[in-house]
Chain A
Amino acid sequence: MSDITIYAAKKIITMNPSRPVASHVAVRDGRILGAGTLEELATWGAHTLDERFADKVLMPGFVEGHAHTMEGSLWSKVYCGWFDRADPDGKTWDGLKSLDDVIARLKAAADKLSDDQAPVSGWQLDPIYMNNSRVSRADLDRVSESRPVGVLHASGHIMNVNTRALELAGLLKKGVNHPGIPLGDDGLPTGELRGPDAMTPVGLHVGFERNLLDADEDGLQNFAKLCVRSGTTTITDLASRMDPDTVEMMLRVTGAPGFPACIVPLRFFMGLPAAELIEEVKALKERSTERLRMGRIKVVADGSIQGFSARLRWPGYHNGAENGLWYIAPDHLAELYERALEAGLQIHTHTNGDQATQLALDKLAPALQKHPNPDHRFTLQHCQLADAAQFKQAAKLGMCVNLFANHHFYWGDEHYTLTVGPERATRMNACRTALDAGLPLAVHSDAPITPLAPLFTAWGAVTRITASGRVQGEEERITVNEALHAITLGAAYTLHMDGEIGSIETGKRADFAVLEADPTEVEPEALKDVPVWGTVQGGRIFAAADL
C-alpha cells in the first residue's frame, strides 16, 4: 500500500459544506483520503505527519475557468502596463505612469539586445489611464530607429509600432486605405493599428507571431509558474486552435513530472465545419491525460464592449457607436449546439453583449428539445451585460455563467461614461443576480487581459471597486464565501470537474492553494492581498519561492 501523508495546517477551508473547516488533510496517491482532525485521519493507518503547512491556510486549489496560455507567452516581451504586475519568476514590474516611462523601459530592453535589427515588443499598454493620449510612431522611434518596435495594448485589440516596423511591413507609404490604420497629416500611417486585421501584417515584424492564440512551450511553462504563484491548480486555455503539433507539445509538457497544473484547453470553433469539429474534439477527448483535459469547444459569438464590437440589444452603445460584429453566423451557432449536444460534448460561448447572450439562449433552447441532455452545463463566458431575465432563462436551460468579475476595476469607469452608460455599467457582471437566479457561477480573469489571480478576481466580485475608487453596482456584490466558491467549486462545475476538484474532501485530487492568511478572516477589501505561498497539485508540492 502506498504512503499516507497527513498535513497539518493552521486552518483548512474545505469548501465541503458537510465539513467546512478542518485542521488536517490526509493524502495518498495524489488524492485526498479525508480532511478532519489528526485523530480521525490517523485511523487510515500508518502515515507521515508533515507540518510544513502548520502556519498556513489551505484552500482547494483555485480553478481559473477562463484564461489564455498567451499570458505565459507574453512575458517574453516587455511589460508596459499601468498597474504593477508580477511575472512568472516572481518579479513585480512597476506600472508605468507615463509614455516617457514606457519608452524608457522599451529602450532599456532594446539596449540589452546584441543584434541591432532585432525587434522589441511590449504589451499591456493602456492609454486610457494616460488621458487617452494617442501614441505615434515618432514616440516609438525614440526607442529605436533601426529596429522594429511594437507595443500591444491591454485590450489586445490595438498595437502601436514605430516607423521601422511600418517600413518592413511595406506600409510606410501614402494612400493606405484601411479603417484600422489611421493616417497622419503627412498622409502616412501614424503607427496605430486597430483590430487584428491591421495588426497582423505588421505584428509579424515586431515579434508578435501570427498565431498568438496557441501556446508555445516556454509560454506554457511560464503560464504554469503563474498558476503556482496565484494558487491555481486547474486552468483553462480558452481557446486553442489545437493543431497536431500544439497538442503533442502540450501532452509532453504537461506530462512532465514537475508540471504543476492541470490545463483544460478548449478547441476554438473556427476553421472546421461543425461536423468535423465535433469529430476532432471527440478524438481529442479520448487523448486526455491527468493534466491535459481536452474535449470541449469554445465559440465566440461577438466582440468586446470596450472595443464596441460586442452585440448589444436596444438601445445599443451609450455613445451612439454602431452595433458590434457577429463572429459566428446564428445558424452556425445553432448547428454547433445541436451537434455538440448530440455528441455529448460541452460548449463554452463567449458572449459579451446582451444580444449575443440572447442569441445563445435562443439557439440552445430548440437544440435541447432535439437532443435533451439535462447535464450539459453549456457555459456563457463573460456574459457581461446579461439582465435578470436572461440569467433566469439561462438557469432554466441548465447553463452556467462565468462572469468577468474584475472587469469593473479596469474598465468600469469607461463603461459608465462611454460604452454602455450608468445603468447598464452598474449591472455589468451581475454576480448577485446570477446567483439569485440559481445559476452555477464562476468568475474569471481572462488572463492576459487582466492578471491571473483568482483572489483578485474574487475581490472584484466582492467589492466592485473601479480604478477611480468608486463602488459600481453595490447591489451586485457577493459575499466572500460566495466568491471563494466561484473560484473553486463554481469554476470546477462549469468544467464537469466538481466531482474531482474544487473542494478538500475524500476522493478528490490533492489540489491545494497554500495561503499565508485566512481569506475569510481578512477585511473583504484585503482579499486580493492575501499572500500565496504556492500550491499542492495532485499531492505534489510547489513553493512559489522555489520556482
Chain B
Amino acid sequence: MSETLPVTVIGGYLGAGKTTLLNQLLRNADGLKLAVLVNEFGALAIDEDLIEAQSDDLISIAGGCVCCSFGSDLTAALLDMGARNPRPDHVIIEASGVAMPAAIAANVGLQAGFSLAGIVVLADSETIRQQARDDYLGDTVIRQLKEADLVVQTKPSLVSSEEVQTVAAFLETTAPQAAHIVAEQGQIPRDVLLGVESRKVPVSAPHADGDYESIVFTPRQTDAVALAQTLATGGYGLVRAKGFLRDTAGKTQLIQLVGKRAEVTEFAHEMPSELVCIGLKAQLDKAGLEALFK
C-alpha cells in the first residue's frame, strides 16, 4: 500500500486557472518530485524559469519534477511515470477542458501501483456561472463539479466580494459532495491540494499556512471506517486529513480524507497512531475535533 503512487486529477474548463495552479505547485514543490501529465504542452505553459530541459514530450523542471504530454494515451504516460527512476512522489493529471475527471480517476484505479489522491476541479469566479448556463457547456461543467472532491474557486479578485459569495454559494449547491476553497493565483498549500505526503513531510509538524490550519491528533484504537466517516461527514470543516491508527483488531489502518470522501486501507507495516487534519481557519471546528479525539 505504501508503495502506490498517489495521483491527483485536476479538472475544469479552459481558463479556469489550471496552468497557474500547476506552475505554482511546481514552483513550490519543495523537494517533492512531482510528475505533471498534460494532454498537450500547448495547454500548459510552464513558466520558463522553471524549465531545465525540454524534449518532444518531456520537460524537466528544477527540483526533480517533470511535465509530460500524453497526447491521447494517458495510460501509457502513467505507466511511464511509474517506471521512472527516480520515481516521482506524486502524479498530477491535468484533464482537458471537457474531460470528465471521474472517468480519468477510474482509469487510474485500474492501474496496479497507483492510487487516487483526489479530484480537484477549478471554477473561474468570473465565468463559471455563465458556463453553467451555456447550451453547449452547461451540463459538462456541472458534471465536472459534481465529480470533484475539492472545488477550487479561482480568480476571486476579478469580481466583487459579493460576487465571490454568490459564486461560492452556487458552487456549494452544485457540488455539495466536495470541500470548497477560494484561491487567488493558485495559492493553495500543497498539502491541501494534493493530500498530506506522509513520506516527505514530517507528519507531526502542525503548521498554519495563510488561511489554513493543520492540527495533529493521536487517535485511540477504534473502528477506523466509522471514524473516517465521522470526519468526512460530521461537519468539522476538514479539507484534507491523513494518518494512521489501530483498528479494533489492532491492525494499522491508513485514513485518507479529501473533502467529504474518506478512504480506509489496511497498512502492511505498523505505524504510530497519528492523524493530520487540515482545514480553512475560518471553518475548522477545532473544538469539535478535540472533543472527538479526546
Q: Which residues of B contact A325 (CB under 8 A)?
A: 98, 100, 140
Q: A170-B112, A178-B107, A273-B40 are in contact. Are A210 and B76 (CB under 8 A)?
A: yes
Instruction: Check if B293 is an interface residue, CB within 8 A of chain A.
Output: no
Instruction: Check if A20 is an interface residue, CB within 8 A of chain B.
Output: no
User: Are B98 and A329 in contact (CB-based, < 8 A)?
Assistant: yes
Q: Which of A59-67, A79-87, A194-202, A371-379 participates in binding chain B?
A: A194-202
User: Are B75 and A331 in contact (CB-based, < 8 A)?
Assistant: no
Min Cβ gap A29→B in Å is 42
Report the contact-size class of chain A (Cβ under 8 Å from the partner): 35 or more
User: Are B43 and A273 in contact (CB-based, < 8 A)?
Assistant: yes
CB closest chain-A residue, reference B57: A271
Count residues of chain B with CB under 8 A from any CB of chain A: 29
Instruction: Check if B291 is an interface residue, CB within 8 A of chain A.
Output: no
Choose from A197, A241, A355, A359 the contact partner of B107 (Cβ within 8 Å): A197
Question: Bound complex: CA of A200 vs CA of B73, how far in Å?
Answer: 10
CB closest chain-A residue, reference B98: A326
Q: Which residues of B contact A211 (CB under 8 A)?
A: 73
Question: Bound complex: CA of A241 vs CA of B40, how far in Å?
Answer: 14
Q: Which residues of A contact B86 (CB under 8 A)?
A: none
Min Cβ gap B141→A in Å is 11
Min Cβ gap B217→A in Å is 29
Q: Which residues of A contact B111 (CB under 8 A)?
A: 201
User: Are B42 and A327 in contact (CB-based, < 8 A)?
Assistant: no
Q: Which residues of B contact A179 (CB under 8 A)?
A: 103, 106
User: Are A323 and B112 in contact (CB-based, < 8 A)?
Assistant: no
Instruction: Check if B209 is an interface residue, CB within 8 A of chain A.
Output: no
CB closest chain-B residue, reference A200: B75
User: Are B71 and A201 in contact (CB-based, < 8 A)?
Assistant: no
Question: Bound complex: CA of A177 vs CA of B116, how far in Å?
Answer: 12
Q: Which residues of B contact A329 (CB under 8 A)?
A: 13-14, 96-98
Instruction: Check if A113 is an interface residue, CB within 8 A of chain B.
Output: no
Instruction: Check if B51 is an interface residue, CB within 8 A of chain A.
Output: no
Question: Bound complex: CA of A170 vs CA of B114, how far in Å?
Answer: 13
Question: Bound complex: CA of A177 vs CA of B102, how far in Å?
Answer: 11
User: Are A359 and B136 in contact (CB-based, < 8 A)?
Assistant: yes
Q: Which residues of A contact B40 (CB under 8 A)?
A: 270-273
User: Are B76 and A330 in contact (CB-based, < 8 A)?
Assistant: no
Question: Bound complex: CA of A211 vs CA of B73, how far in Å?
Answer: 9
List 4 additional A-B contacts (Cβ < 8 Å) besides A201-B110, A328-B98: A270-B39, A270-B72, A325-B100, A332-B97
14 interchain pairs (CB within 8 A)?
A170-B112, A176-B109, A178-B110, A197-B103, A197-B106, A198-B110, A270-B39, A272-B42, A273-B41, A322-B139, A326-B98, A329-B98, A355-B135, A359-B136
Which A residues contact B (CB, under 8 angstroms)? 170-171, 176-181, 197-198, 200-201, 210-211, 241, 268, 270-276, 311, 322-323, 325-332, 355, 359
